[in-house]
Amino acid sequence: MMNMTETNQLHIMFFPLMAKGHMLPIMDMAKLFAARGVKTTIVTTPLNAPVFFSKTTQSSKNRSINIAIKVLNFPAEEAGLPQGFESLDLITSHETEMKFITAMNRLQQPLEQILEESRPNALIADMFFPWTTNLAAKFGIPRLVFYGSGFFTACITESLNKHKPHEHVNSDTEPFIVRVLAHQIKLTRLQLARLRLENEQSNEFTRLLDRLDESFESSYGVIFNSFYKLEPAFADQYKQGRKVWHIGPVSLCNRDDDDKAQRGKEASIDQHDCLKWLDSKKPNSVVYVCFGSLTQFRDSQLIEIAKGLEASGQEFIWVVRRENEEDDNNPNWMPKGFEERTRESEKGLIIRGWAPQLMILEHESVGSFVTHCGWNSLLEGVSAGLPMVTWPIFAEQFFNEKLVTNVLKIGVAVGAEEWVQFGEQRVVVGWEAIEKGVRKVMVVSEEAEEMRNRARGLGEMAKRAVEEGGSSWNDLNSLVEELRLFRGL
């Protein structure tokens, strides 16, 4: 670790989007910078601050890591939201999403005040705060964009914006080809976020998307939570003419079970009970099912998932988030007797709320991952060396699915075909498709074994990337050194 005094220590400020899927990688990233002797400050809102004050970040073994928290008030009520509505995870409708974006755009003045007071040497801000590029320039410091997905998705997005193949089909369901290097990726208009939002006249969000491209080009550079060998050709293409660093998978900075179990918030299941259940299972025998922190299914879809898991005959851990979680005593969200049969046979473990995902994925008994293809989850599954069953919901998740199934060939698609907006959740995948997908990756076959071997190989590459001398280790070191030189240290 570098030995620096306060006066010549590099100081980096982080400004994540207020959503678990954006805050957690920023927290991990701050740990990585701090471990290299960098003074780090995370800016967030009052109700999100506890995410960064986990037991592990405050433990004695981590006291040498210098991470400060600065809090600014989130103008929820000014934007027409209830007091305390400070996280994207709370959004349940398109209307509240637009109000949340309005509130985000009103954070410029309070962030400017924090920059004025703290005078950091660089600002790493989430991609969804494009205005931070100009704000950083006002203080003469570089703003780096934190890109919340991977190089493949970035290249797909650029190709769509440049060639617009979706404009040459006759319907929303007609496939079109996106050409990215040697790959021909099939998509439909139903799977494109921008088109769905434009159709719904979501001007606030589409204007935000337009500003993203401008801020990328004018910022100092872009940071990816990825590693080179995961998507090398796409990394090379995106890097042309740009300052870009890949420093992931950042989640691998969480080394022991406590770090993994308590990452983000206290799990809703005791970690020891969870480990005891996992320890009782054979290697590669358990399917882990989780759809991230934003997706909340309606009961009708949950019933299909339960039927599919039961029909597959596989042991499972299923993280359940319902649309009407306050009505948790209603038994109609699952087939009659399902939970009792699951409990008595110890065939499955149902977790309501927050799960210790890193700890579960990396346990030897877990053999596959049913995922919504959010980038964090995808990377965590890759790092654990697991084949996947892909079920994209919204955002860029349909692009991420193509990386898993078409490029890396470490998963199978469950058959979701349409981008789903907040509050629109409905039955989009039937139990037969869920059963088929799970069995395809879990039941021994030549195809399943090939997927598993490729997934294991990628998991080993991910771990090597963040170890000393690995590609992500070296990229992070070069970024720290470049920022030190920029400051004149």
Please identify every residue annotated as catalytic.
22, 126
Q: Contact at 8 Å (CB) between 51 and 265?
A: yes
DSSP H stretches of helix in 291-430: 299-312, 338-345, 357-361, 375-383, 397-402
156: nearest Cα among 71, 242, 237: 237
Residue found by looking up tokens 């494109």 in the block? 192
210: nearest Cα among 319, 101, 65, 300: 101
Three-class SS of residue 458?
A: helix
The crossing angle, in degrees rounded to 10, of helices 94-105 and 203-218 is 40
**Distances from the Cα of 271 to the Cα of 54, 261, 268, 363, angstroms:** 15, 6, 9, 12
Q: What is the DSSP letter of 405?
A: I
- What the block records as the tokens of 196 is 């769905």
- What the block records as the tokens of 30 is 């701050």
Give the chain's count of helices (H) and strands (E): 18, 15
132 burial (CB, 10 Å; 0-12 / 13-18 / 19+) is: buried
**Could you write out the DSSP letters of every residue in 249-292?**
-GGGG--SHHHHHTSSS--SS-HHHHHHHHHTS-TT-EEEEE-T
CA 457, distance to chain mean position in Å, is 22
Give the span between the Cα atoms of 199 and 408, in whole angstroms. 32
- What the block records as the tokens of 194 is 């921008």
Give the span between the Cα atoms of 318 and 397, in whole angstroms. 20
Give the span between the Cα atoms of 415 and 445, in whole angstroms. 21
187: nearest Cα among 197, 177, 172, 196: 177
CA 147, distance to chain mean position in Å, is 10
Q: Contact at 8 Å (CB) between 124 and 14?
A: yes
Strands 221-224 and 67-71 come out as unpaired
Q: Contact at 8 Å (CB) between 368 and 288?
A: yes
Amino acid at 191: Q
